[in-house]
Amino acid sequence: MVRRFALPAAVILALAAGAPGPLSARTSVTVQEALLRAKPAVVLVIAEVSAEVTLDCGAGPTTVTPPVFRETGTGWFVDGRGWIITNGHVVQPAHTPPRWLVNQQAQRAVTTACLPKVLQRQGIIPGERPDVEDAVKRRLLDQVLPTTKVKLNPQVSVVISSGARFKAEVKKYSPPVSNEPGVMSGRDLALLLIPGAEFPVLPLADSKVGRIGDPIHILGFPGVVLSHELLNQSASVEASVTNGAVSGFKQDVTNQPVIQTDAPAAWGNSGGPAVDQKGAVLGVLTFVSLAPGPEGSIVQGFNFVIPSDAVREFVKDTEVKIEGKSKFTDAWFSGLREFFSEDWKAAARYFEAADKLVPNLPDVKRVLGETRENIKNPPPRPFPWFWVAVGVTLLSGAGYGGQFGLRWHRNRYRIQPSEVIRMLEAGKAPIVLDVRRTEVYDALPLKIPNSVRLAPEELASGVGGLELDTTRPVVAYCT
C-alpha cells in the first residue's frame, strides 16, 4: 500500500515543478521572454565624418562639402545611466580618422567640383568614353590634390529603438585587432556615453561558464536590413535577432580569447550583444570571417565574439556600474514575467511604468497593446489537464490511504504464525486459544498442540470461564 501511495505523490511533485503560473516560482524564462528582455537595450551606433575641402579648380580657391562618410554598427547599454558598449572599429572613423579617409574626402571633392567643368571644356560627355574620362580624372587629381586642404568634422551618434537620436561621447577606446606590422592591435571595444539616466540595460553573463553547444542569440542592425528597399523606416531602429550556438573557444592573433559562434552575422552587427537563454550578455560580436579575395563575402558559421569577462575588464577603471539594473529594466522585466504568467493587469501596470521612463520603444508599445487587448478580451484558457491530473492523483491517494488505514485498524492486533514461533523459541510460550466456530472446528478437526479449545458460543453464553496465566501472552486462533 505504501508503494502505491508514494508513486502518485512523486507524480504530483514532478508535475508541480514543471507547472506554469503561481504554483511554482518560475526559475527559467522562455526564449521569447529572454529576447524581449534584451531588445530595448540594443542601439544603433553611427560614426559620421563630414568634411570641408578647400581647393582650386583653376578659378581661385573654393570650399566644397563632399558626401558625408558614414559607418553603422551596433551597441548596447551596459549601464542604464547612458553608458554603451560597442566595437572599437565601429567608432574608429570618427574617433581616430585614418589617413585614407582624408584622401577619400579630398578626391570626392575634386571629382565633384572640378571634373565636370574640365570634361565640359574638353567636349567629353560624362559616361560616353570611360577610358578617356578616367585619364582626365587622374591628371586632374595629380594637379589639384597637392594644394587641397581638408577639415574633418567627426561625430558619433546613437539611435535608440524609439527613434530618438543622441550625440555620443567616446569615453574609452581600444583599437580593433590587427595583424599588420606597425599597427596597434587592441581589444576592439569602445565605451560611449549619452545623456540620460534610466535607459534599458543588459546584465552580463559569466563567459567562463559557457560551453560548446550552448544556445546564443546575436542582436544588431545588419546593413542589409537597414538599406532594404522593401522595409519601412522602423527597420532602422529595431534590432534584428539571429540564432546559433557556441561552436568554439579560440584566440585572436594577439592571443586574446574569443568565442566562436555559428549564429549568422553581417556588416552592421558589429558591437552587438550575443545573449544567452536568459537574455544576459555572453559577449560582443567583434569580427566575421571572409572568403579569400579582395572583396570576399562573409562566410557564415565562423563569427567571433569578445567574451563578457573582457568587457568587465575594459570598464573596471571607469564610472560604469555593472549591475544590470535600472528603473526601466526592473519595470520591463517584471512586466514580462507577469505577461508570460498571464497576469495581464499586473503586466499592464509594469509596462505603463516602463513606457513613461523611456517612451515609444516599439517592443514596449507592442507588448503593452497586446496586454490591453487580453484584458479587454481574455484569450480562451486551455482545458486544465494539469489540475485535473493533480485532482485525480490526490483522490486516488486519498482512496488508497483510506483503505490502508481501515485495514490497519482492523488488523492492528493480528499477529502472524511466524511471530508465535519466535515467542516459542524465545521461551515465552503463549497461551493459544482455539476459538474457531463449531461448524468450522467439526469440518476441519485440526488440533493445535497445547491449545485450549473454547467455542465462540461458549464465550457468548458466559459458559466455560477460564483462568489464564496473566504472565503469558494470549493468542487467539479464529476464522
Tens-digit pLDDT profile for residues 332-385: 999 999 999 999 999 999 999 999 999 999 999 999 999 999 999 888 877 788
Q: What is the mean pLDDT of residues 295-307?
A: 70
**What's the longest Cα–Cα distance across the chain?**
149
Answer with the residue of higher pLDDT: 49 or 28: 49
Report if residue 169 sits inside a domain. Answer: yes
Answer with the residue of higher pLDDT: 211 or 119: 211
Answer with the residue of higher pLDDT: 147 or 355: 355
Answer with the residue of higher pLDDT: 149 or 301: 149
Report if residue 26 sits inside a domain. Answer: no
CA nearest neighbour of 471 among 412, 429, 426, 413: 429
Cell of 361: 520603444
Report if residue 211 sits inside a domain. Answer: yes
- Given a cut of 70, whether residue 471 has pLDDT beyond it is yes
Tens-digit pLDDT profile for residues 60-117: 888 989 989 999 999 999 999 999 999 999 999 999 888 889 999 999 898 888 888 8
Whether residues 105 and 222 fall in one domain:
no
Least confident of 333-347, 392-406, 440-454: 440-454
pTM to 2 decimal places:
0.72
- For residue 120, what are the domain limits? 42-193
The rounded distance, in Å, linking the Cα atoms of 275 and 286 is 14
Report if residue 438 sits inside a domain. Answer: yes
- Given a cut of 50, whether residue 6 has pLDDT beyond it is no
- Given a cut of 60, whether residue 464 has pLDDT beyond it is no
Least confident of 119-123, 197-201, 331-335, 399-403: 119-123
Q: Which of 193, 210, 230 is the last residue of a domain?
A: 193
Whether residues 129 and 240 fall in one domain:
no
Report if residue 428 sits inside a domain. Answer: yes
The rounded distance, in Å, linking the Cα atoms of 224 and 337 is 33
Q: What is the mean pLDDT of residues 413-425?
A: 79
pLDDT at 35: 95
- Given a cut of 70, whether residue 398 has pLDDT beyond it is yes
Q: Which long-range contacts (CB under 8 A, 24 or more apart) does 337-342 make?
A: 337/26, 337/33, 339/367, 339/371, 340/26, 340/29, 340/30, 340/32, 340/33, 341/20, 341/21, 341/22, 341/26, 342/21, 342/374
189-193 and 83-86: which strand pairing?
antiparallel
- Given a cut of 50, whether residue 248 has pLDDT beyond it is yes
Whether residues 49 and 187 fall in one domain:
yes
pLDDT at 319: 94
Whether residues 243 and 291 fall in one domain:
yes
- Given a cut of 80, whether residue 237 has pLDDT beyond it is no
Q: One-letter amino acid identity for 93?
A: P
Report if residue 448 sits inside a domain. Answer: yes
pLDDT at 16: 38
Q: What is the mean pLDDT of residues 131-157?
A: 89
Whether residues 112 and 76 fall in one domain:
yes
431 - beta bridge partners?
474
Report if residue 183 sits inside a domain. Answer: yes
- Report CA-CA distances (Å) from 244 to 202, 262, 383, 409: 20, 5, 35, 62
Place of cell 574569443: 258
The rounded distance, in Å, linking the Cα atoms of 108 and 13 is 72
Answer with the residue of higher pLDDT: 272 or 252: 272
199 CB burial (10 A radius; 0-12, 13-18, 19+):
buried
> Could you tell me the CATH number of the domain that includes residue 225?
2.40.10.10
pLDDT at 291: 45
pLDDT at 235: 55
pLDDT at 7: 34
pLDDT classification of 457: cutoffs 50, 70, 90: confident
pLDDT at 288: 61
Report if residue 28 sits inside a domain. Answer: no
The rounded distance, in Å, linking the Cα atoms of 283 and 305 is 6
431-434 and 452-453: which strand pairing?
parallel
Whether residues 129 and 77 fall in one domain:
yes
CA nearest neighbour of 239 among 195, 199, 269: 269
Which helix H or strand E contains 260, and what residues bound it? strand 257-261
Whether residues 151 and 63 fall in one domain:
yes
pLDDT at 183: 58
DSSP designation for 204: B
pLDDT > 70 in the chain, percent? 85
Q: What is the mean pLDDT of residues 171-185?
A: 75
Whether residues 175 and 59 fall in one domain:
yes
pLDDT at 25: 42
The rounded distance, in Å, linking the Cα atoms of 329 and 38 is 10
Whether residues 48 and 129 fall in one domain:
yes
Q: Which of 170, 193, 216 is the last residue of a domain?
A: 193
pLDDT at 2: 34
pLDDT classification of 231: cutoffs 50, 70, 90: low
Whether residues 209 and 135 fall in one domain:
no
- Report CA-CA distances (Å) from 423 to 419, 448, 469, 476: 6, 16, 16, 14
165 - beta bridge partners?
159
Q: What is the mean pLDDT of residues 439-445?
A: 76
pLDDT at 181: 59
As for how many domains the chain has, the answer is 3
- Given a cut of 60, whether residue 298 has pLDDT beyond it is no
Whether residues 70 and 166 fall in one domain:
yes
pLDDT at 76: 96
pLDDT at 314: 95
Q: If you average pLDDT over every residue of the chain, what do you get?
A: 83
Whether residues 209 and 179 fall in one domain:
no
